[in-house]
Amino acid sequence: MINLVYTGGQVMADERLIAALDVHTMDDVKRLVTTLGDSVTYYKVGMELFYGVGAQVVTWLREQDKDVFLDLKLHDIPNTAAGGICSLMRLGATMLNVHASGGYTMMKTACDRMHAEAAELGVKCPKLIAVTVLTSINQDDWRDMGLALQIKSAVVRLARLAQKAGLDGVVASAQEASLIREACGKDFLIVTPGIRPAGSDTHDQSRVATPTSALTDGATHLVIGRPIYAAADPKAAAEKIINEMETFYDYNPNPLPHVLLWWRDRFSFFL
How far apart, in whole angstroms, are the C-alpha atoms of residue 254 and residue 261?
Answer: 9
Q: How far is CA 201 from CA 96, 171, 196, 219, in A?
A: 28, 21, 7, 21
Q: Within 10 Å of residue 166's Cβ, how many Cβ atoms?
A: 14
| Active-site hit among 30, 73, 127, 235 | 73
* Phi/psi at 74 (5° precision): -65, 140
How far apart, in whole angstroms, are the C-alpha atoms of residue 133 and residue 144?
Answer: 14
Is 240 part of the annotated catalytic residue set?
no
Dihedral sign for Cα 179, 184, 186, 191, please.
negative
**Do strands 127-131 and 95-99 pair parallel, antiparallel, or not at all (unpaired)?**
parallel
How far apart, in whole angstroms, are the C-alpha atoms of residue 36 and residue 19?
Answer: 10
List residues with catalytic annotation. 73
